[in-house]
Chains A and B, each alone.
Chain A
Amino acid sequence: MWTLVKQELFKLTRKTSTWVSSFILIGIQFLFAILSRIYPTTFIPANMFESLYFARPFITFYMIAATATIITMEFQYGTMKQVLYRRYSRGQILVSKWLAILVYSLYWYVISTGVTLLLRALLFRHSLSIHQNAGYGDTVFTRGLAISAASFVALWIILSLVFLLANVFSNSVAAVSVGIIGYFGTFIVTQLLTMLIQKWDWAKWNPLTMMLYPSMMARPGYYQTLLNMQSWQMLLGSVVYIAIFLSLGYNVFCRRNM
C-alpha cells in the first residue's frame, strides 16, 4: 500500500501545478497579511490570522481540482489500465489515492499554518498576540487551530463527494463543478437551512449543515442555537458522510469495466 501511495505522491510532485499553486497560496497569504497591516480596521488582524490569511478557500478550490484529477487523469491519459493490471487490487489502488490526497491536504494545511505563523511574526509581532483572548475561553491561536481542524473535516466532506463523482463520471468537470457548488452552496442556503431546521429538527442531519462545522468553531454560541447542534454532533455527522461518500465511490470503482 505504501508503494502505491508513494507512486501517487511521486506523480503529484512531478506536476508543475503543485509547485506553482504552492507559491500562489503563499503569495495570497502575503497579500492579505500586508492588506491587514495597512487596513487593520477592514482586515482585522486577529480574524485574518484565524482565517490563515485567506488560505482556506484557495486550499478548498485547489484540493477539489486535485481530487477530481487524481482519478479522472487516469482515464484522460489512458493510464488507468496500466495502474490496475498490476498485483494490487482495485480497492488498494483507490485507497492509495485517498491517502495521497489526505497527505496532500495535510501538506496544504501545514504550509499555510506555517506561513501564517511566519507572517504574524514578521508583520504583527507587536500588534497581535496569538495568546490574546478570542472569546469562548479560546486564544487567537487555539481558535485558529480549531477552525483549521473543522475546515479540514468539512473539506473532506467535499473531497469524498468529489471522489464519488469522479468515479461515476470519469470526468473532472462534473466533479469539480459539484464540489465548488457544494462549497458555495452551503453559505448561500444557510438561511433556508436554518429555517428548515427550526421547523423540522431532523433536517439538521444533512451534509450541507455539516459544511458549517468551521463556522460553528468560529462562533459556537451563535451556531449551536441556530442549528440545534453541538460541535461533536457535527464532527460525527461529517465523519459519517465522508464514510458514506467514500464507500459509494469505492463500490463504483470496484465494479466498473475499465
Chain B
Amino acid sequence: MSSILSVQNLNKSFGNKHVLHDVSFDIEKGHIVGLVGPNGAGKSTIMKTMLGLFNFQSGTIKVDGQTVTPMKHEALSKVGALVEHPGIYPFLTGWDHLQLFADGDHQLIHIQKIISQLNMDSYIKRKTKGYSLGMKQKLGIALALVNFPELVILDEPMNGLDPESIKDLRDLIISETQQGATFLISSHILSELQRLAQDLLIIDQGRIVETTTMHDLLASQGKQTIMLMTNDDKRARDVLKKARFKMTADPRIEVVATDDSTMPRVLKTLVQANIDILDVSRLEGNLESSLLEVLKQNRIQQKLAMERAE
C-alpha cells in the first residue's frame, strides 16, 4: 500500500534549540496512526511543521507525493487538521464556520452529515462565543473533516469531550477510515488511542524512537496476561507458582502470557490440582505501560551511548 504522508530527515530548531532531530516516517493510506510521547517531545511541532506552519532547517515533507513547505501548500488540499486548540471566531455560528471553510459541491449535505455524526444539531446555529470547551472541540473536529480530506491530523482531539462525545468521535474516525481516510492522532488519552490506532510513532526529545504497530508494541512488551477467578485463589496462586508460571504483583491471579500455549497449560494445571475455575479472561497489553517501557529503554540506551562517547 502506498504512503499518504512521507517525512524524511526533518530537522527543526527554534533559535539555538534543536527540537526535531532527523525525524523520518511514512504513513500508509487508510491507517489510523498514533503519535505518542511525553510533553515537550515534539508532537505538536511535527504536526505544525507538516502543515506548513513552521519553517524548518532541512528535510522533506510530502503529502501523496507533493512537497509541503511554509510557502508551498497545494498538497494540503488533501489534509484536514485540528492542531492544539480549535480556532473559533466568536462572532460566527458553528454553521457559519463550516460554511466558511467548506469547498466544493454537495457541501451542505456533507456539513449536515458531520453535524449529525458528532451530535451538534442542537447548538450549531448558535454563535460560538457561548460554546463550551467540548462544543468548540467538536466544531474543530468537524472543520478538520469538512472537505473530505484524505489525511486527517488531530492533535489531542479528545480534549474536553465527555464519554459520549468520545464514542461519537471514535465511531466517526472509524467510519471515515473505512471510506479511505488516513488519521494521524496525537493524544495523551492512551486508552482511547489504544482502541483506535493501528500504527504508532513514538517520539521522545524530538526523535522518533520507535515506529511500530499497536499489536507489535503490546506483544513486544510482554504485557498480555490471563486473569483467573477460582474457588480457592490462594491455593491456585501457590500451584501456579510451583509450576513456574510468571505471575504479576496483582493480588488477584494474573498470569503473564508468554505465548499462545500459556492459557491451556494454566487451565490444565489448575484442573489437575482439583481447583474449580470460576472465570477466566485474557487481558490485552496496555499502551501506557508499554509506552513507558519503550521510553525508559530508550533513555537508558541514550545514557549509555553518551557515557561511551565520553
Instruction: Kindly specify which of A29-37, A38-46, A76-84 makes contact with the partner chain.
Output: A76-84
Taking the complex as formed, is B88 at the interface, i.e. its CB lies under 8 A from any CB of chain A?
yes
Interface residues of A in 84-122 (CB under 8 A from B): 84-91
Taking the complex as formed, is B100 at the interface, i.e. its CB lies under 8 A from any CB of chain A?
yes
Tell me whether chain A's interface is mostly helix, strand or loop, or mixed.
helix
Interface residues of B in 4-62 (CB under 8 A from A): 14, 48, 51-55
| Complex interface bits, B124-149 against A, C-beta within 8 A gives 1, otherwise 0 | 00000000000000000001000000
Q: A88 near B101 (CB under 8 angstroms)?
A: no
**What residues of chain A lie closer than 8 Å to B14, measured between beta carbons?**
257
| Complex interface bits, B141-180 against A, C-beta within 8 A gives 1, otherwise 0 | 0010000000000000000000000000000000000000
Q: How many pairs, one residue from A and one from B, have CB atoms within 8 Å of each other in the complex?
A: 79
Taking the complex as formed, is A127 at the interface, i.e. its CB lies under 8 A from any CB of chain B?
no
Taking the complex as formed, is B73 at the interface, i.e. its CB lies under 8 A from any CB of chain A?
yes
Per the bound structure, the CA–CA distance linking A79 and B74 in Å amounts to: 20
Task: Report the minimal beta-carbon distance from B53 to chain A, rounded to whole angstroms.
Answer: 4
Q: A11 near B51 (CB under 8 angstroms)?
A: no
| Closest residue on chain B to residue A86 by CB atoms | B76
| Closest residue on chain A to residue B75 by CB atoms | A87
Taking the complex as formed, is A126 at the interface, i.e. its CB lies under 8 A from any CB of chain B?
no
Taking the complex as formed, is B85 at the interface, i.e. its CB lies under 8 A from any CB of chain A?
yes
Task: Report the minimal beta-carbon distance from B154 to chain A, rounded to whole angstroms.
Answer: 12
**What residues of chain A lie closer than 8 Å to B64, measured between beta carbons?**
none
Instruction: Kindly specify which of B90-98, B206-214, B235-243 makes contact with the partner chain.
Output: B90-98
19 chain-A/chain-B pairs, Cβ below 8 angstroms: A11-B89, A11-B92, A14-B92, A73-B89, A77-B87, A77-B88, A78-B86, A82-B87, A83-B87, A84-B51, A84-B52, A85-B52, A85-B76, A87-B73, A88-B73, A89-B72, A90-B73, A254-B70, A257-B14
Supposing A78-B87, A81-B84 touch, asked if A258 and B77 sit within 8 A by C-beta, the answer is no
Interface residues of A in 44-91 (CB under 8 A from B): 73-74, 77-91
Tell me whether chain B's interface is mostly helix, strand or loop, or mixed.
loop
Q: B73 near A89 (CB under 8 angstroms)?
A: yes
Size of the B side of the interface (Cβ < 8 Å), in residues, is 32
Instruction: List B residues at the A interface (Cβ < 8 Å).
Output: 14, 48, 51-55, 70-77, 79, 81, 83-92, 96, 100-101, 103, 143
Q: B54 near A258 (CB under 8 angstroms)?
A: yes
**What residues of chain B lie closer than 8 Å to A77, measured between beta carbons?**
87-90
Q: A85 near B87 (CB under 8 angstroms)?
A: no
Taking the complex as formed, is A131 at the interface, i.e. its CB lies under 8 A from any CB of chain B?
no
Per the bound structure, the CA–CA distance linking A257 and B89 in Å amounts to: 21
Partner of B96, one of A14, A254, A255: A14
Task: Report the minimal beta-carbon distance from A9 to chain B, rounded to whole angstroms.
Answer: 11
Supposing A16-B91, A90-B71, A254-B70 touch, asked if A85 and B100 sit within 8 A by C-beta, the answer is no
Interface residues of A in 1-22 (CB under 8 A from B): 3, 7, 10-11, 14-16
Per the bound structure, the CA–CA distance linking A15 and B73 in Å amounts to: 29
The residue in A14, A87, A88, A91 that gathers the most chain B C-beta atoms within 10 A of its C-beta is: A87
Size of the A side of the interface (Cβ < 8 Å), in residues, is 28
Supposing A11-B100, A84-B53, A258-B48 touch, asked if A79 and B87 sit within 8 A by C-beta, the answer is yes
**What residues of chain B lie closer than 8 Å to A89, measured between beta carbons?**
71-73
| Closest residue on chain A to residue B12 by CB atoms | A257
Task: Report the minimal beta-carbon distance from A243 to chain B, rounded to whole angstroms.
Answer: 21
Supposing A87-B74, A87-B76 touch, asked if A258 and B88 sit within 8 A by C-beta, the answer is no
**What residues of chain A lie closer than 8 Å to B70, measured between beta carbons?**
90, 254
**What residues of chain A lie closer than 8 Å to B81, measured between beta carbons?**
85
Nearest 6 A/B pairs, CB to CB: A79-B87, A87-B77, A85-B51, A82-B87, A78-B87, A258-B53
Per the bound structure, the CA–CA distance linking A3 and B92 in Å amounts to: 18
Per the bound structure, the CA–CA distance linking A175 and B35 in Å amounts to: 39
**What residues of chain B lie closer than 8 Å to A10, measured between beta carbons?**
96, 100
Per the bound structure, the CA–CA distance linking A15 and B55 in Å amounts to: 33
Per the bound structure, the CA–CA distance linking A257 and B20 in Å amounts to: 15
